[in-house]
Chains A and B, each alone.
Chain A
Amino acid sequence: MGAFFIQPLITAALVLVLTAPISGLVLDGYRFDLHWQPPLWLALAAFFIHVGLILIRRLLRPGQKAPPQQNSRQIHPTVLRTATILLPLLGLLLPFFLGKYWLTVAILALIYVLLALGLNIVVGLAGMLDLGFVAFYAVGAYGYALGQEYLGLGFWAALPLGASLAAGLGMILGFPVLRMHGDYLAIVTLGFGEIIRLILNNWVSFTGGPNGMRVDSPTLLGLEFSRRAKEGNVPFHEFLGIDYSSNHRHIFIYLILFLVVLATLSLVTRLKHMPLGRSWEALREDEIACRSLGINHVTVKLSAFALGAMIGGIGGVFFAASQGFVNPTSFTFFESALILAIVVLGGLGSIPGVIIAAIVITVLPELLRDFSDYRVLVFGLAMVCMMIWRPKGLVQNRRPVFQRRSA
């Protein structure tokens, strides 16, 4: 029975250590006050949650420690169907209940979902470690900013432009790295990401350098979301005869972004079961076998790079649109690492896992805003814990199971 409590005790101790500096130290004027209650409560809660989990696990699996049947872990089809209808609906309604601050957080979360879905194709499905994914994100964002500055393009033209620019760049990067694997690939892509950032930072006459560039917000059928429109245009709120609110702009961006995420999601889930998606996975597992089976590893790898990059580029366009401003500091290596962390935490290749991880990793730091200094620390610890207890990620990439028809 003693062993029963050991793990929960360890959990409680960990929680205590982790949360004590965050919730136990309260800033009062120029002093820190030490409050012991909050971390203790958290540790206690963690202890009971862990005990509860163990109990539940025992109840669900009485008797022998037989490995769970694969079929019993499948989600019931009606539950799945209701969820696929209900969740998008909820997502579409969500922005109307959020304040401005949380709206921007929600947009950021969706952008990270998009980025993670893109990187997931390259790293999770095709198995190529890309440490420079932020380059495509930057290309999308700057594609919009530069297109507006020099070509007078609006958001709707920037969207395909940013996407194809990023996809093209993905292909260009893809060619030299086709013959590389693992560490070498990681180093080259890392360098690539930095090169793009350095170009944006140093080509001052073209990109504005560290000062960045301003970006207009998107328009709806030519209607602007500003208080006053440019010459001759009617702003959105006047057109509808409603009061001006800066939220409209964010709600609008959120809604388009949400639809884009849904479209990407359906594309990616579908691809997973199509020959192309299968080839990505197969290539990750055994390249020689693939080639002898007739899979062209060049087109398959390039398509993974290009598609991942394209999704990253679209994310970048939305980032520029929602911020209204871009500069190179948004596209550092840390950003690449963050996106990679999302993909790894989510469980390489698992789409639901990646979505959950993206939302958790963007929303949680906002909830813990006051302790933002500890964000990276908490991240690192979360990663270490994950790798120990759930090495295959939050949601393990589950294979579709084919039911036996006859007994």
Chain B
Amino acid sequence: MAETPSHREPILELKNVSSHYGPVRALEGVSLTVHQGEIVTLIGANGAGKSTLLMTLFANPRATVGEVFFAGTKITHLPTHRVSPLGLALVPEGRRIFPGMTVIENMELGRTALGQQRQKVNLEFLYNLFPILKERRGQKAGTLSGGEQQMLAIARALMSQPRLLLLDEPSLGLAPMMIRKIFALIQTIVQSGTTVFLVEQNANQALQIADRGYVLVNGQIRLTGTGHELLTNPEVRQAYLGKLTHRE
């Protein structure tokens, strides 16, 4: 497990962030950091505020208190569409692909963040990662299976060549074999140089591949530590791993 390189500036930093939906507080005083090259995971029960945290990075909703920094830039109040061009890409909860458009069109749209630069995106790299997408590129995205749609959502996010990839429950609603496949892919992506912030309810799998993790409870960070520490933490085991009947 990598030591947290505290001397380096983090790529993502939240300082005491709170978010509200109208009068309802969804996040309260959340502080966390992600460093270049890490896999950091955020685990928490349904409704803990995990998705809200990710969407707060995109100012949707905007943080009511606190600050968000990405690679040294303050992004707390940036309009939503101005965030991804900085090098953040989101794979939203429930995939949110464009079902009526083809696979390749979905991927092309992922390039929007690159703007006028029109850089040559390394499609071959993505097709090597997701051979099924190459095969299905002319097919409507809505006709793909759940796992394939998740891959498409990840590929679409990677099209903008992000420095930080945010994944919101990529294992949601997938069969165990497909979940293993997706987690293996995430590790490949990190090895290729992209930093990953992984939001999961599937705590066991997420903590196994993560360098560090945070546990979110009712909008507040309850625990933090390395993946291994959290996996063996009694509180985590009790609450998220079902008393760990299936230790691997």
Please provide the 6 A-B residue pairs with the shortest distance between their CB atoms, ordered closest to farther: A294-B113, A294-B84, A289-B96, A402-B138, A285-B98, A291-B80
B60 contact from A275, A291, A400, A403, Cβ within 8 A: A291
**In the assembled complex, B148 has its CB within 8 A of some CB on chain A:** no
Residues of A near B105 (CB, < 8 A) are 278, 399
Interface residue B223 (Cβ < 8 Å from any Cβ of A):
no
Residue of A291, A293, A295 contacting most chain B CB atoms (<10 Å): A293
B193 contacts the other chain (CB 8 A): no
A270 to B75, CA, bound (A): 35
- Is residue B97 contacting chain A, with contact meaning CB distance below 8 A? yes
A278:B109 contact, CB within 8 angstroms: yes
17 contacts between A and B (CB under 8 A): A70-B138, A70-B139, A275-B108, A275-B112, A278-B109, A279-B109, A282-B98, A282-B109, A285-B98, A288-B92, A291-B80, A292-B58, A292-B80, A292-B90, A293-B84, A293-B113, A293-B160
Q: Mark A278-302, 1 if CB is under 8 A from B, else 0.
A: 1101100110111111111100000
| Distance of A400 Cα from B139 Cα, bound (Å) | 9
| Residues of chain A contacted by B96 (CB below 8 angstroms) | 286, 288-289
Contact A402 to B160, CB < 8 A, known contacts A285-B99, A288-B92: no
Which of A275, A289, A297, A401 has its CB near the most chain B CB atoms (within 10 A)?
A289
Which residues of A have CB within 8 Å of B140? 399
Residues from chain B with a CB closer than 8 A to the CB of A278 are 101, 105, 108-109
Closest to B79 in A: A296
User: Which A residues, 156 to 205, have Cβ-Cβ distances below 8 Å to chain B?
Assistant: none
Name A residues whose Cβ lies closer than 8 Å to a Cβ of B.
70, 275, 278-279, 281-282, 285-286, 288-297, 399-403
| A399-B113 contact given A278-B108, A295-B81, CB 8 Å threshold | no
Q: Which of A279, A281, A294, A297 has the most CB of B within 10 A?
A: A294
Among B58, B83, B105, B156, chain A packs the most CB atoms within 10 A around the CB of: B105
Cβ–Cβ < 8 Å partners of B160 in chain A: 293-294
- B60 to chain A: which residues have CB within 8 Å? 288, 291-292
The residues of B that contact A279 with a CB separation of less than 8 Å are 109, 112
CB distance B112 to A295 under 8 Å?
A: yes
- Given A294-B81, A399-B105: 17 more A-B contacts, CB < 8 Å: A278-B101, A278-B105, A285-B98, A289-B98, A291-B58, A291-B80, A292-B84, A293-B112, A294-B83, A294-B112, A294-B115, A295-B81, A295-B112, A399-B102, A400-B102, A401-B102, A402-B137
CB distance A281 to B98 under 8 Å?
yes
Residues of B within 8 A of A401 (CB): 102, 138
A291 surroundings in chain B (CB, below 8 A):
58, 60, 80-81
- A401 to B103: give the CA distance in the assembly, Å: 10
Q: Once the chains are docked, how many angstroms separate the CA of A292 from the CA of B54?
A: 10
Contact between A281 and B101, CB atoms less than 8 A apart: yes
Interface centre among A278, A288, A292, A295 (most CB of B within 10 A): A292
What chain B residues lie within 8 Å of A290 (beta carbons)?
109
Chain B residues within CB distance 8 Å of chain A: 58, 60, 79-85, 89-90, 92, 96-102, 104-105, 108-110, 112-113, 115, 137-140, 156, 160
CB proximity of A125 to chain B, nearest CB, Å? 11
Asked whether, in the complex, the Cβ of A285 is within 8 Å of the Cβ of B101, the reply is yes
The docked-state distance in angstroms from the alpha carbon of A296 to that of B99 is 20
Looking at the assembled complex, report how far the CB atom of A282 sits from the nearest CB atom of chain B, in whole angstroms: 5
Bound together, the chains give a CA A401 to CA B100 distance in angstroms of: 13
Given A288-B60, A399-B140 in contact, is the A296-B98 Cβ separation under 8 Å? no
The answer for the CA separation of A286 and B110 in the assembled complex, in Å, is 13
Cα distance A290–B98 in the bound complex, in angstroms: 9
Q: Which residues of A contact B83 (CB under 8 A)?
A: 292, 294
Interchain CB contact under 8 A, B110 and A293: yes
Alpha-carbon distance A278/B79, docked complex (angstroms): 21
List of B residues within 8 angstroms of A285 by Cβ: 98-101
Q: How far is the CA of A279 from the CA of B110 in the complex (A)?
A: 11
In the complex, chain B residues whose CB is within 8 Å of the CB of A282:
98, 101, 109
B112 touches A289 (CB 8 A): no
A400 to B138, CA, bound (A): 7
Inter-chain contact A289/B92, CB cutoff 8 Å: yes
Residue of A nearest to B153 (CB): A289
Q: Which residues of A contact B108 (CB under 8 A)?
A: 275, 278
Chain B nearest CB, measured from A307 CB (Å)? 19
Asked if B85 and A294 make an inter-chain contact with CB atoms under 8 angstroms apart, the answer reads yes
Chain A residue nearest in CB terms to B95: A289
Question: In the complex, what's the smallest C-beta–C-beta distance from B127 to chain A, in angstroms?
Answer: 12
- What are the residues of chain A within 8 A of B80 when measuring CB–CB? 291-292
CB distance from B151 to the nearest CB of A (A): 16
Chain B contacts for A289, CB-based, 8 A: 92, 96-98
Q: A278-B109, A401-B138 are in contact. Are A297 and B92 (CB under 8 A)?
A: no
Q: Separation in Å of the A299 CB from the closest CB of chain B?
A: 9
Shortest C-beta distance, B136 to chain A (Å), equals 10
Which B residue's beta carbon lies closest to that of A275?
B112
**Which A residue sits closest to B108, measured CB to CB?**
A278
Q: How far is the CB of A323 from chain B (nearest CB, A)?
A: 39
Residues of A within 8 Å of B104, CB to CB, are 402
CA distance A70 to B81 in the complex (A): 35
Give the distance in Å from the alpha carbon of A32 to the alpha carbon of B109 in the complex. 62
A400–B81 alpha-carbon span in the complex (Å): 28
When chains A and B are docked, how far (Å) is the Cα of A291 from the Cα of B115? 14
**How many Å lie between the Cα of A123 and that of B80 in the bound state?**
25
A289 CA to B80 CA, complexed, in Å: 11
